Amino acid sequence: MASSVSSSTSKSGIENLDSYYQNLINYTLTQEKQPLTRLTEQKDTITLKKAAYTDLKTKFDALQTAINKLRSSNTAYDLKPGRSVTVTPLTSGTTVATATVGSTVSAGTYKLSVTSLATAHEVHSTRQTYSNQALGLTGTFVIGGAAQRSVSIVDSLPDTVSSVDAGSSSIILPGQKELGTGSYYVETRNDATSGWQFRIVDSEGNAQSIQEGSSAEFTSAWQSIPTNGGNYDTGRGLTVTFGTNSSLYTAANKASGAVQLSYTAKGASISVTSGMSLVDINSAINAATYGTGNEVVSSIINNTLVLKNGATGSAHVMQASDTTGSVLSNLGVLSGGVLNTKVSPINASFSINDMEMTRSSNTGLTDVISGMTLDLASDAEGKTANIVVKSDASTSTSTINSFLTAFNDLTSYVRTKTSTKKNDDGTYTRGTLAGEYAIRSVGNELIALMNQDFTNTGIYSNLSEIGITVNSDLSATISDSSALTTALKTHFSDVTALLDAAMNSMASKVDSFAGTEGYVNKTITTQNSTITNLNSRIKSINERLTRREESLVKYYADYQAQMETFMNQSKINSALYG
């Protein structure tokens, strides 16, 4: 009689063995799995610690960032003397102006009186019968500049700037606009670090954006004069040629004899065919490219072509001329070669604390009150307002609060993860990082620093003097907001000195733990390596145990089959010879 148990494990497996043999195999495998159990437990422990260290890295990095924002020597420094501004018109129902301020503006009241607002040059055509019918005009006109750009030197320093050029060789790089028509100055200086430098400023002293060296980048910052002089192409239609002997250069600015240039920008050339209407001409003007400040905005009002310079101020006078034909003359834009001006360009005229001044623009005025951007409203003409700048500690307080949040987030996490708690049943529960002395130590040291006296140049030596203390639960907080606000408003430099000392001490602790090169991240890297190694060993043991189980199943399946064969044969013998 054939055996019912196959020695092959591919189909039957351990479940087809007698329970006695199954128990033998399971017992054997249980004994041999003990190293796997230990490795798995080790991996789980390290994985748990790695998760805690990953959280720690996030918290250390956040605290490092918050500390740097309170260190005046750090590029991330963000503690600034706050300012708020209000504009109060002296005529009800008016706006007069709006303003925004930075941390450098001086607190106080500034009286603004506006005589006139800056206007843009506005030119009209005569009224046409239709705006959308062909005008039957042909020819070409130039608007927003001259037929060709040009430049000349008004006031010279020939040993410094030998010549200037705006010819075809002076390129306008892609994405850039040509310089606008007007007066410019080539300011020069001898920088102690970089040597002789220059920049281009307009008639109001605003530095112009020019090509940075030979790169495709543009900047309004000072640029180095080429070694041994020579040409410098601004990338905006102007080339400046410097003298070859730098020992003869003269340092000068707009007010002290800098080279003055008169620049004329090239206008847009508009070709008109007989089938074009006023609408078509209007579209062509608006689609054209102009020099900065020479932009022309065209519109049609009551079948009249209204041309307005895009920039305000007396320096921005619109240029337009017929080059072939008489399109502008026939439209009435020109009369005897003179533009049909309806609004003349003038500068804004106003005073601050009775100090008279003019500006070409009504908005974006950054050089009126240092640290303030002033915008004159459309109803400002003839009106007066008080601009009140006050100290405001809210921004600085917010920066300090961000530090305290990051500080508490880290230190409370460290306490939780490194503590050991006694349970009601007398047993103990250890935190994930209970054995990590370095982590527990830095947490305690940071808490201690919050209560420490610091030597510095200011009047404060302890954080508690500006209202920052540590509570009984070891959390740091602004316990006296009034003290902090007063300190920030009245002794800002002293607060800065104290925080510099405190934050530098904290940074010396935190920096060794934070970032990619810090202790925490290096520990995570080691843990990742260990986990990878353990996974490899666990995989190897599992593969070996699988082969071992298959071997044992095969062995006992063969043995069980032999025993059944023997028992069957015994039964046959008993039947035959019993």
Going along 27-138, which residue ranges are E strands?
83-89, 97-101, 108-116, 120-124
pLDDT of residue 510: 96
pLDDT of residue 455: 95
Q: Over pLDDT 90: what percentage of the chain?
A: 77
Put residue 154 in one of left, alpha, beta given phi > 0 → left and psi -120 to 50 → alpha: alpha
Q: Extract the tokens encoding 150.
A: 């040009």
Partners of 124 in the beta sheet? Answer: 306
572 three-state secondary structure = helix
Task: Output the CA torsion 539→542→547→553 (10° steps).
Answer: -160
Tell me the torsion sign for CA atoms 409, 412, 415, 421.
negative
pLDDT of residue 427: 83
* Segment-wise mean pLDDT, segments of 10 residues, the chain, 578 residues: 36 72 84 84 90 95 97 93 93 97 92 98 97 97 96 96 90 93 97 96 95 92 94 96 96 96 97 98 97 97 97 95 97 96 97 97 96 97 97 92 97 93 84 91 96 96 97 96 94 95 96 93 92 89 85 83 81 75
Say if CB 253 and CB 187 are below 8 A apart: yes
Interval 34-77: pLDDT, tens: 888 888 888 988 999 999 999 999 999 999 999 999 999 999 99
pLDDT of residue 11: 40
pLDDT of residue 137: 97
Residues 6+ apart with CB under 8 A from 146: 181, 264, 265, 266, 267, 319, 321
pLDDT of residue 5: 36
Q: What are phi and psi of 370, to 5 degrees?
A: -55, 130
180 three-state secondary structure = coil
- DSSP state for residue 385 in the 8-state scheme: E
Mode of pairing for the β-strands spanning 296-301 and 268-272: unpaired
Say if CB 466 and CB 483 are below 8 A apart: yes
pLDDT of residue 578: 58
pLDDT of residue 9: 39
pLDDT of residue 101: 93
H or E element, residue 161: strand 161-165
- Give the count of beta carbons closer than 10 Å to the beta carbon of residue 278: 23
User: What angle do helix axes 19-32 and 519-577 make, rounded to 10 degrees?
Assistant: 160
* Residues counted in the chain: 578
354 three-state secondary structure = coil
Q: Extract the tokens encoding 539.
A: 């995989």
Tell me the DSSP string of 10-47. Answer: TTS-GGGS-HHHHHHHHHHHHHHTHHHHHHHHHHHHHH
Q: Extract the tokens encoding 545.
A: 């145990």
Q: What are phi and psi of 408, to 5 degrees?
A: -65, -35
Residues 6+ apart with CB under 8 A from 111: 351, 352, 353, 354, 384, 385, 386, 387
Rg (the chain; Cα; Å): 42
Say which amino acid occupies 430: R
pLDDT of residue 508: 95
pLDDT of residue 34: 84
- DSSP state for residue 149 in the 8-state scheme: -
Q: CATH number of the domain at 15-82+392-558, please?
A: 1.20.1330
- Give the count of beta carbons closer than 10 Å to the beta carbon of residue 333: 23
Interval 237-284: pLDDT, tens: 999 999 999 999 999 999 999 999 999 999 999 999 999 999 999 999
CA distance 70 to 362: 37
Which residue's structure tokens are 């980048």? Answer: 217
Q: Please state the separation of Cα 155 from the chain's center in Å.
A: 42
- Give the count of beta carbons closer than 10 Å to the beta carbon of residue 350: 28
